[in-house]
Structure formats: C-alpha cells, structure tokens
Structure 1
Amino acid sequence: MGQHLGPAAALAFAAAAAAGYGVASVLQAAGARRATGLLQTLRAPAYLGGIALDLLAWLASLVALRTLPVYQVQAVLAGSLAVTVVVARLRLSARLRPVDVAAVAVTVAALVALAAAAGPQDEARPAGAVRLGLALTAIPVALAGWAGTRWGRPALNAALAGLAFGGAALCARAATLPADPLRGLPELASEPLVWALAAYGLTGMLLYADALEHGDVGPVTAVLWIVEVLAPSVVGVLALGDTVRPGWGVVAAVAVTATVAAAAVLANAPASLSGY
C-alpha cells in the first residue's frame, strides 16, 4: 500500500484523493437532502455514487499515508473543499465571493508549503502500547457516534466523524502490512489496526451521513475537516514519528492552520452550497 512510493508519487495520490472527496461531497449532500432518515439516505443513488467515489479517494489517501506524514496528507485532503468550490464555479456558474477566491489561493499556497516542509519519513514503527491504544480507541469513538446519532447535534456528529476518519488515517500510517497484501491475506487479517481502520471508516461514514441529513453541509463539512486535520496530525507527530524538515516547523504549523482556516471559509461559500 504505497510503501515503496516516492514522495512525489504519494503526494499525487493525496491530491487525487482530495479531488475525489471534493466531487463526492456534492453527491453525498444531494442524496442526504433528498432522503428522510438515515437508511433512506444510504440507499439514495446520488449518495451511493458519492460513497463509491469516496471509497476510491479513501484508498488513494491510504496509499499516500504509507509514505507521507499524517499532517501532510490530511491537510491536502482538506483542500477538497477548494476543489468543490472551483467545480461549482466552472460547472454551475456559481458566484464566488472575493473571500472565497482568497481562500482557494491560500489553500494552494499552504499545500505547496506543506509539500516543501515535510521531512523524510521512515516507516512508522510505533510502540505496542500506541498500536493497542489506536485499535481500542475505535470502540469509544463508535459508541459516542451511536449516542450522537440519537441525541447529538450535527456539529457534534461531524466532529466525531472527523475523529473517526482521523483514526483511520492513523491506523493506515501505523499498520504493519505484508509486502504483497494479496498473498499475505492471513497476515493482513491478523493485523488489529486493519480491523480498527475499517471500524473507524464505517463509523465516520455513518456519522457524516447523519450530520449531513440534519445540518447545513457547509458548517458540517468545516467541523469535519478541522477535527480530521488537527487531531490526527498531532498524534502523528507525537506518537508515530512524523517529521518536519529541520527549520520548517513554523512553516508547517502555519500551513496546516491556514488550510483549516481556508476550509472553514470555503465550507460556507455560496459556490459550494449552491451545487447541492
């Protein structure tokens, strides 16, 4: 899963994932808005199309995570909101505010800075306690999500979805995988982080669907990406050995912050909302 990719190729996978997420979010929101109830949402053709594209984007992001640090991949993925806004402008003739144009420019500049700031990454080899903690945390996140779909607000469910997707990213970075996953299926099936990754991913998908059904897509998506970028990025640096090029720590921190801020602006852009 990308263990032998060079940084440039891995970054291309991350960028492709961001593009896929940008289009998929449009389809998912359209399906959620036309449905009543979570089960009907999950059966809506537009939503299913978005899920299929989401899955492809997710797999591309997992490939990128085998080579690149978590903070870099997650920030690139947050750039999917810029993709959504630009596509809405080109395909739907949607109006862009000056602040939206500025946010797109900030996103592009921040991602270029992140690409330059990422240090050389070794294969993540976290301690056993870290691996166990990542795997077991999937349980309380899932339980909190179950409670959130019954009593929580859309913003809370979006935040929990961000935690879940962030947990999946961390598992993808930390998991020990066979060189040939097809021939090493028994070894793959015995890796707890692979099962935790699937649990995180499923939890995030269901929570995001529920948040989209009951909340406005802009704020919901903004909360999702803010949590999904910041939380796993911190864990990646502290526990998985993700590094920043010497002397570039401030640049990386500013770039991640700028990406999150731009995502919050773009999530509320008329261009991103008019397409739904």
Structure 2
Amino acid sequence: MRSIPSYAATKLSVLGLLSIGIWACGEANDGGTSSTGGGGPDGTTTSSAETTATVGSGGAATTGAGGATAGSTSSSSSSSSSASTAEASSSASGGETVGTGGDPAECVKGQTKGNQVAVIGESFIAATHGITQQIEKQAKANGSLAQSDRYIDNSVSGTTLANDQIPSQYRKAAENGMIKYVLMDGGGNDCLLRGDGDGALAAAESLFETMEKDNVEKVVYFFYPDPIGNNFSSLKSCLDTLRPKMKALCDGLTSPKCYWLDLRPTWNGHNEYTQDGIHPTSAGSIATGDAVWEVMKENCVAQ
C-alpha cells in the first residue's frame, strides 16, 4: 500500500493507500496469473494527478503515482447467506448444479478451470493479491481448482468503476469467452477520488448488463469494511450511502446471479486487519479471502 502522510498528504496518501490495496494491481498474466501494475495506478489510464497508495502484506504503506483507493467494506455474511437461501435453484453450466438453498452437497466439485473465474477491482484486492491467493488456496484444498491453476486476477490499484477502468478489467478477462464467475469489489475509489457513488452504481449496472450478454453465471460482490481513522470520514460517508444501493442492485440480479458480501462483520473488532485504515494486512487478506470463499461454497460459485 502507500503510506499516508498528513492529510494534505492525507487525501493523496489516502487515495494512494486506497489505490494500493484496492486498485493498484497490474494486469493479470495470461493463463490466469495475476500481476501488479508497475507504474500506473490502474495499469491503464488513471490520471497522473491521482496519487496511489499501496499496502503490502504487512500493511506497510508506500506512496507512488497513480490512483488512490478506498478500503471500506460492506457485504455481510448474513446478507450473503440469506441471499443464498432465497437464490438457490439455478443450474450452472459445466456440470455445476445448485439445489434448493444452494446446498453444497448438491454442488458438483472440480468442474471449474482457473480461466473461467475473473477477479476485478482495485487496491483492496490488488495491493498484495493476498485475497485472491487465499481464495485459490481454499479452492485447491476443496478440490475445486487444480493445484497448478490460477484465477485471472486483473485488479489494479487506483481504478474506479465510473471511468470504465474496472469494467475494462472484466472485458479483458472475457476476451476468451470463457468467464463464468466474477469475484469483485468496486466503488471505493469512486468515493475516495471522485466522491461519486452514483457514478459507480451506474457503471456497475452497465457492467452487469455486459456480463449478462456474455452469459456469466454468478458474481460475488464483496464490499469494503469501514475505514478506520478520522481522515476517512468523507470516504465512510460516501460508502455508507453507496452500500445499500449497490446491495439492492446485486440482490436484484438474476442473470448473472449476484451474491453480496458485506465485509464489516468480518472486520469489525479486528484492527490488526489493516495498518493504514483501509487496505488489508496479510491477516486481513486471509480473513477476507476466507469470507469470500464461504459465500462461494454456500452458493456453488466456481466449485
């Protein structure tokens, strides 16, 4: 991540910090390998005026050029489990079937290849790629992903939904026409850099329409934990306003089916999950990855 200096430097640092964890990854390598974006906040077209912050595993922050990202989360396990109960009976292609209530016992394992799963978002994911790595670790232990396989992680620090950066991460992953599942966050930098939650919501609506045309089956949308520290009060306010709107959008989707995960219950009371107030440390990445994996298991996502 990027270090957060003062708050004059705070907004840039914050942006930076956020960008790191949430939006600073580089484009994924072919075959589903993830890579961090070297010099740019989004690996594509983020404004040089935006300072990127990146949090490494250990939570140390470093400031560089690029976009900043926000790391507040909101997708509760409870909401995801209730969603899985209500949204249970859908068949996934490739032999994965979900029975009533999404009972894992009725979900066929080992049918998903890494290049059928796209991970998109900003520095909350991209700073260390630790969240993606933890989900892959769980999938391999569960027999849902081959030991040598990887997901396509195109998350990039400093990126936003509204300027088409995160949507473009999806389109790049979908070039081979095989994406069936998407794991994502988004909206943090829209709030942090632009104060534009409504722009993020509109961009997400358009992105989901594209996924529907591409026959993507399921999406897990994990939303940020609450940022920690007075420096992030405006960010928290924007995320608090955006969260219920984005959840309503996700919950209302039928194609693709979307499962919402509010990360606040996972993170609350665990200040060790971040060292800059927004991006995950190694412990935070593991806890987040495990929470995402539980939603995936409950709803037969990429099993």
TM-score (norm 1): 0.29
Give the structure with the larger helix fraction.
Answer: 1
Higher relative contact order (CA 8 A, sep 6+): 1
Higher Rg: 1
Between Structure 1 and Structure 2, which shows a larger proportion of strand residues? 2
| TM-score with structure 2 setting the length | 0.27
